[in-house]
């Protein structure tokens, strides 16, 4: 994961000090892209140990179309706790937009089902997009989507994915986001009988919170290690039938975990 180290270094070298909504303050750069060839391995950051369980449960929760943290809590995942209301609700966030985007005439669009059907029947389409930035509903969301859109691309029998992220917590959020979209690419590729291609991240305000600078510098002293591999143990009926137990990451040998406080 040299790409991730290079980005940390870029922010430390070129970042501009910028205040932010949370009050923590950041070093920030604008407009960056990272590319990962999924044929080279599964893109998990190796310069600190990641909590894979939270990442995978969060993705499965998005795919269920859920927006209440109950599912996450039931599985011991607490990454969304700070943003939920007393009943665990987050408003119409990712899951709702991905699976149940409401149209003007009151119908619901399942963007995930549609995009998979399109990949299967019309792989050369340039409209293979899922969008979470629902302008009419953003103000009801406890947190407007950070990764707000993604696009698939099929060439040479391989499926690639690029996602857009308006705001990027490079120490805590980004390693999760990379892994999450890598999981999604593998799942969709399996459903569509394609190989995996490239994963492309495009970030807008890419920042390091000022209370994560030491953690970033520590990672720069660490040598990236070989990437692990993902094994999917069976092919479920549909994209909505994957279970946590269907996935196994092998050969993940990261450097030790590094703690960092999350800005709310």
Ligand X SMILES: O=c1ccn([C@H]2C[C@H](O)[C@@H](COP(=O)(O)O)O2)c(=O)[nH]1
Q: Binding site residues, as ranges?
A: 21, 51, 126-127, 166-169, 177, 207-209, 263
CA 58 to chain centre: 9
Taking the least distance from each CB to ligand X, the nearer of 1 and 119 is 1
Which residues of this chain interact with ligand X, rule CB under 6 A? 21, 143-144, 146-147, 167-169, 173-174, 177
Q: Is the CB of residue 210 less than 8 Å from the CB of residue 24? A: yes
Partner interacting with residue 147 (select from ligand X, ligand MHF, none; CB below 5-8 Å by kind): ligand X
Sign of CA dihedral 70, 74, 80, 85: positive
Q: Does residue 192 have an active-site annotation?
A: no
Task: Let me know if 125 is exposed, middle or buried by CB neighbors in 10 A (0-12, 13-18, 19+).
Answer: middle
Q: Which does 78 bind (CB under 5 to 8 A by kind): ligand X, ligand MHF, none?
A: ligand MHF
Q: Which is nearer to ligand X, 8 or 174 (CB)?
A: 174
Calculate the alpha carbon distances from 173 to 107, 123, 156, 208 in Å. 33, 31, 32, 10
Residue list 176-205, contact with ligand MHF (CB under 6 A): 176
Instruction: Find the catalytic residue in 146, 199, 200, 230.
Output: 146
Q: Are 160 and 141 in contact (CB under 8 A)?
A: no
Query: How, if at all, do strands 195-209 and 129-131 pair?
Result: unpaired
Binding to ligand MHF (CB under 6 A): which residues in 123-162?
Answer: 143
Q: Is 263 near ligand MHF (CB under 6 A)?
A: yes
Work out which of 38, 169, 186, 196 binds ligand MHF, going by CB under 6 A: 169
The set of catalytic residues is 146
């Amino acid at each position: 994961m040299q790409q991730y180290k290079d980005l940390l270094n870029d922010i430390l070298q070129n970042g501009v000090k910028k205040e932010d909504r949370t009050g923590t303050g950041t070093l920030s750069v604008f407009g960056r892209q990272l590319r990962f060839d999924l044929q080279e391995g599964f893109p998990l950051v190796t310069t600190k140990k990641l909590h894979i369980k939270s990442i995978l449960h969060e993705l499965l929760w998005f795919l269920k179309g859920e927006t209440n943290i109950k599912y996450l809590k039931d599985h011991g995942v607490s990454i969304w706790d700070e943003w939920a209301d007393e009943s665990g609700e987050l408003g119409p966030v990712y899951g709702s937009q991905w699976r149940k985007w409401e149209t003007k005439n009151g119908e619901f669009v399942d963007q995930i089902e549609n995009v998979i059907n399109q990949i299967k029947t019309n792989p050369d389409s340039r409209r293979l997009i899922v969008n979470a930035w629902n302008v009419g509903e953003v103000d009801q969301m406890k947190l407007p989507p950070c990764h707000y859109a993604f696009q698939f691309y099929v060439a040479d029998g391989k499926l690639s994915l690029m996602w857009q992220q308006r705001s990027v917590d490079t120490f805590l959020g980004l390693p999760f986001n990379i892994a999450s979209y890598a999981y999604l690419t593998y799942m969709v590729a399996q459903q569509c009988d394609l190989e995996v291609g490239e994963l492309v991240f495009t970030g807008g305000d890419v920042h390091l919170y000022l209370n994560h600078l030491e953690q970033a510098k520590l990672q720069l002293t660490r040598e990236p290690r070989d990437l692990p591999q993902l094994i999917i143990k069976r092919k479920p009926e549909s994209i909505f039938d994957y279970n946590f137990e269907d996935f196994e990451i092998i050969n993940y040998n990261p450097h030790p975990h590094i703690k960092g406080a999350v800005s709310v």
